[in-house]
Structure 1
Amino acid sequence: MSYSLVVFDWDGTLMDSTHSIVAAIQAACRDLELPVPSASQASWVIGLSLESALRRAVPSLTQAMLPRFLERYRLHYLLRDPELKLFDGVREMLAELAAREVRMAVATGKSRVGLNRALAASGLVDAFAATRCADETFSKPNPTMLFEIMDEVGVEADRVVMIGDTSHDLQMAANARVHGVGVTYGAHLRDELESLGPQAVIESVSGLREWLLSRVG
């Protein structure tokens, strides 16, 4: 298989942000005196739209409390912004894919404001042919993000691979009938990723780079 479009999730796949998201959810719960989810409960919802994620991670969160909770979550997350960085090797991997004229895109549960800020901070604003966020279309695992990206870039499903660290990413790939690859260095465990039948489950950025470079261009 030769792929001409590689779609990446952002948090936990390109950026090392899983711990910051979990910590921000837990801190916002403490601020509002709500039951605090475990790290595994909070990390499971990463990749979903923020409101969907919070309703799963914090079942006692009411609609009336949601605006205040979102305010506290965003505050705690932004306080950790200086700690956020791309995983080692990501920048080089993207540069090598671009050198082979592979189109790249991002499909993320982040908001548009959040993704734009992350792209600017990491210097990757011009790296992707298309990006989709959960606040401008349907959230994962609905396949609409991928359908919209494929339409915008002009690539058929059989030339597309979706890379992500959660079962939500891989289920979205399956729903869109594109190939999926899971990475274990993010939010979800290997067993959960493997249960979705991806093309591969990979343990490191270096391993992902090797896998992709042998299948593109």
Structure 2
Amino acid sequence: MPYSLVIFDLDGTLADSFPWFLTVVNGVARDYEFRPIRDEDIEPLRRARSRDILRHLEVPRWKLPAIARHLRALKREQIDTISLFPGVPAMLRTLRDARLTLALVSSDSEDNARRQLGAHAACFSSFACGASLFGKAAKFKTIMRRTGVATAQAIAIGDEVRDIEAARAAGISCGAVTWGYAASETLVAMKPDLLFEKVDDIAAQLTSRITTGPAVGG
């Protein structure tokens, strides 16, 4: 199926934020009284689903909004230490120049997202940020209403199992990148519609199956 709308996740998909996350998460764990992440926990947690991660860390769901706000504030202070993955700017420009409409759905704030993207934020026609841990499906539906694109012509691209689950709940296609938070074999087991092993794969696969729409950005 060709696509005219591509909805990106930010952290772990476009931005290389996992190393930064590991430097701050145990401080957040102390502040909010959940189990810290040990070095030996990292790979098993990358293979786990979000609900299993919460159980392992002993994080009650009622604490999630406060933890998310705290992480956004920390990231805002340290955002200059987090880079986009190599190749992301060129990939975004290629998709824009191919007249694909780009949108961003993230758990982060829109201000953080725009700062992270810098000049490349102009490639995006729409932002739906501040998604809760399990709230991305609603944000995808918001993007669909704004753009008026048919569900069959939209794909959401992320790096976690919850991104795939949210896309399916919203009735759109899902793409998974293997360089982010979740382990590649975990994502493969979810059978996403498209799998991307390199940043360059995104433009290569999507521009080969284009339904054109209005260009976004300059």
| TM above 0.5 | yes
Question: 1: distance between equivalents of 2:197 and 2:58?
Answer: 32
Please list the CA deviations of residues 78-122 of structure 1 after superposition, one character each: whole Å capped at 9, or x if unmatched.
Answer: 554222111111111111111121100011111234324324xx2
SS in 1 for 2:10: coil
Instruction: Find out whether 1:172 has 2:166 as its counterpart.
Output: yes
Question: 1: distance between equivalents of 2:191 and 2:33?
Answer: 40
Correspondence 1:158-169 to 2 at 5 A = 158-169=152-163
Match of 2:87 among 81, 86, 89: 89
Instruction: Find out whether 1:206 has 2:204 as its counterpart.
Output: no
Question: 2: distance between equivalents of 1:152 and 1:91?
Answer: 24
SS in 1 for 2:16: coil
Question: 1: distance between equivalents of 2:14 and 2:91?
Answer: 10
Deviates more, 1:154-163 or 1:187-196: 187-196
Question: 1: distance between equivalents of 2:110 and 2:47?
Answer: 21
CA contact (8 A) 1:150 1:156 kept: yes
Deviates more, 1:138-147 or 1:73-82: 73-82
Ranges in structure 1 where 5+ consecutive residues have no aligned partner:
none
Question: 1: distance between equivalents of 2:161 and 2:36?
Answer: 23
Quote the RMSD (CA, aligned, Å). 3.3
Q: Could you tell me how far 1:71 is from its partner in structure 2?
A: 7.8
The structure-2 alpha-carbon separation of the partners of 1:24 and 1:179, relative to structure 1 and needing over 3 Å to count, comes to same
Letter of the 2:82 partner, please give it.
L
Letter of the 1:195 partner, please give it.
A
SS in 1 for 2:202: helix
CA contact (8 A) 1:141 1:169 kept: no
Q: State the structure with bigger RCO (CA 8 A, min sep 6), 1 or 2.
A: 2
Question: 2: distance between equivalents of 1:128 and 1:96?
Answer: 12
CA contact (8 A) 1:108 1:132 kept: yes
CA contact (8 A) 2:3 2:154 kept: yes
Q: TM-score, normalised by structure 2?
A: 0.79
Q: Percent identity?
A: 25
Structure 2 equivalent of residue 189 of structure 1: 183
Ranges in structure 2 where 5+ consecutive residues have no aligned partner:
213-218
Structure 1 equivalent of residue 102 of structure 2: 104
Instruction: Find out whether 1:28 has 2:28 as its counterpart.
Output: yes
Letter of the 1:86 partner, please give it.
L
Instruction: Find out whether 1:12 has 2:12 as its counterpart.
Output: yes
Question: 2: distance between equivalents of 1:6 and 1:63?
Answer: 32
Match of 1:115 among 113, 118, 132: 113
Q: Could you tell me how far 1:60 is from its partner in structure 2?
A: 5.5
SS in 1 for 2:145: helix
Question: 2: distance between equivalents of 1:40 and 1:13?
Answer: 18
Q: How many residues matched? A: 208
Letter of the 1:161 partner, please give it.
I
SS in 1 for 2:185: helix
The structure-2 alpha-carbon separation of the partners of 1:44 and 1:8, relative to structure 1 and needing over 3 Å to count, comes to farther
Structure 2 equivalent of residue 39 of structure 1: 42
